Structure 1
Amino acid sequence: MTVEPPEPSPRPASPAPLRASHDDREAVVEQLRDAAAEGRIDLDELGERVEKALQSRTLDELAVLTADLPQPESPGSRPPLVLKGGMSGASRGPARWEVPGHVIAHGGLGGVKIDFTRTECRLKEVTVEAYGETSGVTIVIPDGWAVETGGTDPGFGGFKDETTPDRLPGTPLIRLTGSGGMGGVTIRHPNRRECRKLA
């Protein structure tokens, strides 16, 4: 009696390569430009790689273009930014600054103001812990950014959300937590004076 050998089991199909988004391509182009500015690649190579990046359809194709370059630090992996009002107050912005994934603000006696209007934030979400304490915390976000305030405690000073719910594509969501304390916490869009300065 002849025993037939078992049929080989079919090989599992290889997962399809992930498609690249516009943001993925733009991030690689920016990384290439930074590399050229640092002298890691020359201008001819920059042009060639940028052209390939803009034509890339998958993440694998993009990865090849930056495989020999230092990988940028992820903003979400940075340590939290801590601002303490102390006696004389503290602020961050409106000049450009790098936004980490976590910001902690203690109003203290002098108060704290956090202004996101000139930042270029690539994060999908930013957690802001705001504690109003004695003099309060003010947070200013650009028009088109949205805020989620479910984790806040108004305290004695209260909590004011003066933002609009309309969120533009590609902008981060601010997840606001903390307590109003005595001084309160306010999150809003730029006022007229601030808009004139931005213009």
Structure 2
Amino acid sequence: MTSQPPEPTGRPAPSPELRASDADREAVVERLRDAAAEGRIDFDELDARLEQALTSKTYAELAELTADLPKPDVPTSRPPLVLRGGMYGASLGPGRWEVPGRVIAHGGVGGVKVDFTRVECRLAEVTVEAYGETSGVTIVIPDGWAADTSGMDPGVGGLKDRTTPDRLPGTPLIRLTGSGGMSGVVIRHPNRRERRKLHDNPARDLP
């Protein structure tokens, strides 16, 4: 069977005989874990393929491990989504909204809240560029999603990261950048009141 090497998004496929990097191996590992979560391969086979992925030397060896799996959808590139708090504040979600690869939130005077709890996101990563400014920015992510806040400047208002590091297969990583400004930035999972509202409204979008 002739297999093609992995096709990174936006780049031409590398030659099969080229040496793979740690990042290439990790990408295949994530794809295999997603396939297991979808029921495409069982966990015994997952363990065997993961071991092979971590010891693969070339793109061709990695390609063999995913040759019988559907190719991942490549999301259409979308412009950044920009939210500005203005005088009265701004909020997005909870509810179904299309997530771009980059969200920019300016707290302004009224503050901004970005709630991802009911979105369907097939991106591997979403960059949220948050600027707390006068009234701050709050970001809410579902349980099972994780955040990387290492690129965030806490500013005067600070950064409060109340998320857990336990990331489920197939979920995006929220990469938080920007500055806390005067009032800071908070990223967290739903609080008790939000969880109750989600529980009471399981089958429809919330306002």
Mark the structure with the bigger radius of gyration: 1
Cα-to-partner distance string for 1:90-123 (whole Å, 9 max, x where unaligned): 0110011110000000000000000000001000
SS of 1:78's equivalent in the other structure is coil
Equivalent of residue 68 in structure 2, options 22, 42, 57: 57
Written as runs of structure 1 = structure 2, the 5 A alignment for 1:51-90 is 57=68, 59=70, 74-75=75-76, 77-90=77-90
What is the CA–CA distance in structure 2 between the aligned matches of 1:158 and 1:58, rounded to whole Å?
44
Residue in structure 1 matched with residue 136 of structure 2 by the alignment: 136
SS of 1:88's equivalent in the other structure is coil
TM-score by length of 1: 0.66
Residues 110/18 of structure 1: CA separation in 2 closer, same or farther (3 Å cut): same
What is the CA–CA distance in structure 1 between the aligned matches of 2:160 and 2:92, rounded to whole Å?
20
Residue in structure 1 matched with residue 111 of structure 2 by the alignment: 111
SS of 1:91's equivalent in the other structure is strand
The AA in structure 2 aligned to 1:143 is D
What is the CA–CA distance in structure 2 between the aligned matches of 1:120 and 1:95, rounded to whole Å?
10
Written as runs of structure 1 = structure 2, the 5 A alignment for 1:17-36 is 17=4
Cα-to-partner distance string for 1:13-35 (whole Å, 9 max, x where unaligned): x8415699776xx8xxxxxxxxx
Written as runs of structure 1 = structure 2, the 5 A alignment for 1:158-197 is 158-197=158-197
- 1:122 matches 2:109: no
What is the CA–CA distance in structure 2 between the aligned matches of 1:196 and 1:104, rounded to whole Å?
28
Q: Which runs of 5+ in 2 are unaligned?
A: 7-30, 39-66, 200-207
SS of 1:195's equivalent in the other structure is helix
SS of 2:181's equivalent in the other structure is coil
Would you say the 8 A contact 2:158–2:185 is kept in 1? yes
Residues 182/18 of structure 1: CA separation in 2 closer, same or farther (3 Å cut): same
What is the CA–CA distance in structure 1 between the aligned matches of 2:161 and 2:69, rounded to whole Å?
40
Cα-to-partner distance string for 1:126-154 (whole Å, 9 max, x where unaligned): 00000000000000000010000111111
Would you say the 8 A contact 1:18–1:58 is kept in 2? no
Residues 111/74 of structure 1: CA separation in 2 closer, same or farther (3 Å cut): same
- 1:16 matches 2:3: yes
Would you say the 8 A contact 1:104–1:129 is kept in 2? yes
The root-mean-square deviation of aligned C-alpha atoms, in Å, is: 2.5
Q: Which runs of 5+ in 1 are unaligned?
A: 1-13, 27-55, 63-71
